[in-house]
Chains A and B, each alone.
Chain A
Amino acid sequence: MVWLALGLWTWLTDAEPMAINRACIGGCAPGTAGHWLGTDGLGRDVWLQLSGGALPALGGGMLAATGALVIGYVLGAGAAVAGRGGRVVPWWWWVLFVMASTLGGFWWRYRDIGVSTWVPATAVAILLASAFVLWREPAFVRKSRWLRGGLRPDRMLLAVTEVVSSVPALLLLLALAAISLRPSLLQLVAIFIAVRWTGFAVQALQEVRGVLGAPYVEAARGGGVGTFRLLTHHVLPNAAPPLLVKAVLSVGAFIVVEGSFAFLGLGLPPDQASWGRVLAQATSVRGGWWLWLLPGIPLVGCVLALQILARRWLGEMRK
């Protein structure tokens, strides 16, 4: 396992932001003379491409996995906590939330023109006020039957995640094309997060629910631990591990996704290295075995290493 982790790190540290397009051997000159791993069809050195491609793939992967993890965890844990024991968030809060987000959306959309300040100010005020009312639960809310009924936040989250996850990876491509045909690394990361967060959210919901029902939480509560400390010191750290494993696997998924996009020609701009693009040349260069074998090593290797890492970790946790 240590060896596999080492392999990972080698690729990371190998990332040199060097220019790839060496005009030295113009045209198709495949051969291992001078270039240790050969060149692709356009004369770019394979080794440089492979090492340069490590940074966007792995770095972007870690960024994307972290982002999806954080967003999914926060939403899932929040939903689990807010909906524990069948607790309900009152309907008027949902209404106010929708109103606030509409105002916020309006401000965001027309922010170039210059929106009156009262628009975003009202939105924020609504959110703060309703949060305050929810937190303190003043008497008039508790007593009035009319104001109390509502929807469970955990079920709402599940419904939302189901809608979002029903549309498969195609949505990735869609969003991609909607923005720009050749997205930057950050845009790729953003799209990946937007699609992957649902998996984290659903799992976070389950885990936090499980932890909340555990005896040690009850014991801590009985011992007089405050709510905030209870959350940060007891609940969240204990619910986190399976999600971290998922995050590791997501890094692998990002590598594959970025590679696929580069392969299809939709990926990073041509002046940035990418493993997938080297692979794409394999069919066009006759007899170019090094073009599919060599990129395959980091591609498969990284994903494999991550998989093994994640699963070993999971196995240890299970015991």
Chain B
Amino acid sequence: MAWLRYVVRRILVSIAVLAGVVTLTYVLSRYSDVDQVEAYLATQGAYDDSWQLPVSRQSYLISARRLGADLPPFFFGLSPKHYPDTLHRILPLSRRRQAKALLADQIPWPDVERFQRQIWSAAATTEEQIDRRADLISSQQYAFASKLGNDLLSSAPANREGVRPSLRWYGTRNGFTHFVGGLLRGDLGYSLQSGIRVSASLGRALVVTLPIALVALILAIGLSMLLGVPLARWQPKWARAVLYGLISAPGFWLATVVITQLTGRGKPFPGPGWISAQESLGSWIAHATLPILILAVPAAAYLALILEEGMSRADRVPLRDFARLQGASERQVWYRDMLPLGIAPSLATAIGLLVPAFLGGAIVLEYIFNIPGLGRMVFEAILARDWPVVVGVVLISGVATVVGYVVMDIINAAIDPRYRDIIVNNQVRA
């Protein structure tokens, strides 16, 4: 019964960990310098042929409010004293960046505000002028460019004193709650590249990647047991070298070798590409086999080595002799009694590590084999600075990893009775 209590506590801890992951991803998403509102509008087809943005201020504001671009970063914040309280409400984002740059020169906010109002109101009708103004970001540059800028510069303090922090309270309606609220509702935002809802594209990509990862995982576990037990039992010298070799080969190298040698015309496997299982199961198998093998085989080798280590550690206990005395055959002893002992301390953690490893390895594999899955999606999103998609994928993998750990701990505790003692005594997981 004690370990049931442990299970509950473990799940609570993982929820806390998930909260941490969510916070981390939120912080990361706040750091991008892309104008999310503009990108969103672009995907909605707002740009015309000359790549200008003939969008009225009104619709920009509406989209910005919808995306939460005018919300403060958190419940409270620490910022320099001379910053205004409502910095986060300045829109469009280029104007906000400009304000921040001017404030950095320690120009008092009222002067900055006046300056901005003058230049932005004149350009209210042509967005082109707004862009130009946003290019000049330092007050020196402005001084060079216009009389207005000169006046601005003169209001900067002659000798800069140090900036002092002030703690500001922003209230419960802020970017963080907006983000979390969206998550709970299942809304992850919109892709900056395509305008599709992130949750939709994630779903589609998962359908491709998940079967591969699951099959590879099961294959790796099964293969490792098949390899590991005889390895522990007979300890052939050459076997270790082979296994070491398998785990040393980087995924992308294996994949390249395989692709050039085994795929293409006249060769056993089809070239890079993808057919979904619903269309044709045979084709899916043909396309998926190689990536699955590339994922599973080195992982199986790694697991087999760990398994063998665990079992030889278990061999020190006179369990084997004891079981033999009771009449079990050698084979029975190895598979029934020692295998569970060998699994728990190290294998389960290794499996818990495999989930993130497979997701990471999938990126390279999907890139090489041209599979439209999660890995390739996140890779392309990173190249295109498509943060909502990246954030979504990070979240999913974080969730998957945490869930993987918990499941493995539970299975561990169920298989190996010693593990329950370890856990209940609150020692560190091996």
- CB pair B401–A170 under 8 Å, yes or no, is no
**Is A71 part of the binding interface, using a Cβ–Cβ cutoff of 8 Å?**
no
Evaluate contact between B368 and A168: CB separation under 8 angstroms. no
Chain B 354-385 against A: per-residue CB contact (8 Å), 1 yes, 0 no?
A: 01110110011001100000000011001101
Given contacts A102-B78, A260-B252, A303-B250, contact A282 B21 (CB under 8 A): no
Distance in Å from the Cβ of A169 to the closest Cβ of chain B? 3
A276 touches B397 (CB 8 A): no
Given A106-B165, A167-B25, 16 more pairs with CB closer than 8 A = A112-B104, A114-B106, A159-B17, A163-B17, A163-B20, A166-B18, A166-B21, A167-B398, A168-B359, A168-B397, A174-B28, A177-B382, A264-B364, A289-B260, A296-B257, A307-B244
Q: Is the CB of A303 within 8 A of B17?
A: no
Tell me whether A110 is interfacial, beta carbon within 8 Å: yes
In the complex, A293 Cα to B254 Cα: how many Å?
10
Give the secondary structure class of A's interface: helix
Q: Hey, which chain B residues are within 8 Å of A209, CB to CB?
A: 428
Q: Nearest chain-A residue to B19 (Cβ)?
A: A163
Q: Give complex CA distance A264, B368 in Å.
A: 9
Residues of chain B contacted by A218 (CB below 8 angstroms): none
Complex Cα distance, B402 from A165, in Å, reads: 9
Question: Which A residue sits closest to B395, measured CB to CB?
Answer: A167
B161 close to A116 (CB less than 8 A): yes
Does chain A have a CB within 8 A of B210?
Answer: no
A283 and B256 form a contact (CB under 8 A):
yes
A162 close to chain B: CB less than 8 A: yes
Number of residues on chain A facing chain B (CB within 8 A): 56
B383 touches which of A117, A177, A295 (Cβ 8 Å): A177
Q: Contacts of A117 on B, CB cut-off 8 Å?
A: 162
Contact B357–A168 (Cβ < 8 Å)? yes
* CA distance in complex: A159, B409 (Å): 16
A166-B253 in contact (CB<8A): no
Closest residue to A163 on the B side, CB-wise?
B20
- Does B393 sit within 8 A of A, measured CB to CB? yes
Does B282 reach chain A (CB closer than 8 Å)? no
The 5 closest A-B pairs by CB, nearest first: A116-B162, A168-B356, A169-B360, A163-B20, A304-B248
Q: Which residues of A contact B (CB under 8 A)?
A: 102-103, 106, 110, 112-119, 158-159, 162-163, 165-171, 173-174, 176-178, 181, 202, 205-206, 209, 252, 255-256, 259-260, 263-264, 276, 279, 282-283, 289, 292-293, 295-296, 299-300, 303-304, 307-308, 311
User: Is B251 an interface residue, CB under 8 A from the partner?
Assistant: yes
Cβ-defined contact, B163 with A171, below 8 A: no
Shortest CB distance A208–B (Å): 11
| A–B pairs, 16, beta carbons within 8 Å | A112-B104, A116-B161, A117-B162, A159-B13, A163-B17, A169-B359, A177-B385, A209-B428, A256-B251, A263-B252, A283-B256, A283-B259, A292-B256, A299-B250, A303-B248, A311-B244
Interface residues on B, range: 35 or more
B244 to chain A, nearest CB (A): 5
B398 touching A115, Cβ below 8 Å: no
Residues of B within 8 A of A163 (CB): 17, 20-21, 24
Q: Are B394 and A170 in contact (CB under 8 A)?
A: yes
Q: How far is the CB of A66 from chain B (nearest CB, A)?
A: 21
Most buried by B among A112, A173, A252: A173
Q: Shortest beta-carbon distance, A197 to chain B, in Å? A: 15
Are A308 and B390 in contact, CB atoms less than 8 angstroms apart? no
* Chain B hits for A178, CB < 8 A: 28, 31-32
| B364 touching A263, Cβ below 8 Å | yes
Q: Are B428 and A115 in contact (CB under 8 A)?
A: no
CB contact under 8 A between A170 and B368, given known A113-B104, A116-B163: no
CA distance A106 to B25 in the complex (A): 21
- Other-chain contact of B356, A169, A299, A303 (Cβ < 8 Å): A169
Q: Does B249 contact A (CB under 8 A)?
A: yes
Given contacts A159-B17, A173-B379, contact A116 B248 (CB under 8 A): no
Q: Is there a chain A Cβ closer than 8 Å to B230's Cβ?
A: no
Query: Does B164 contact A296, Cβ atoms closer than 8 Å?
Result: no
Most buried by A among B252, B356, B390: B252
Residues from chain B with a CB closer than 8 A to the CB of A283 are: 256, 259-260, 368
Please pick, from B256, B360, B378, the residue contacting A282 in the complex, using a CB distance under 8 A: B256
The yes or no answer to B119 lying at the interface (CB within 8 A) is no
In this assembly, does B245 line the interface, its C-beta being within 8 Å of a C-beta of chain A? yes
Question: How far is B382's CA from A129's CA once the two chains are assembled, in angstroms?
Answer: 44
Q: Is the Cβ of A166 less than 8 Å from the Cβ of B259?
A: no
The verdict on B270 contacting chain A, using a C-beta distance below 8 Å, is no
Q: Is the CB of B244 within 8 A of A167?
A: no
Q: A176 contacts which chain B residues (CB < 8 A)? A: 382
Q: Does B5 contact A (CB under 8 A)?
A: no
**Cα(A308)–Cα(B248), bound, Å:** 10
CA distance A299 to B252 in the complex (A): 11
| Residue from B21, B368, B382 within 8 A of A167 (CB atoms) | B21
Bound form: Cα–Cα A31–B305 in Å: 41
How many angstroms between the C-alpha atoms of A116 and B160 in the bound complex?
Answer: 10
A residues within 8 A CB of B13? Answer: 159, 162
Question: Are A166 and B17 closer than 8 Å at their CB atoms?
Answer: yes
A174 near B248 with CB under 8 A, answer no
Question: Are the CB atoms of A279 and B252 closer together than 8 Å?
Answer: yes
- Taken residue by residue from 387 to 409, chain B's Cβ proximity to chain A (1 for < 8 Å, 0 otherwise) reads as 00010011001100110010000
Kindly state the separation between the CA atoms of A102 and B165 in the bound complex, as whole angstroms. Answer: 10
Which residues of A have CB within 8 Å of B32? Answer: 178
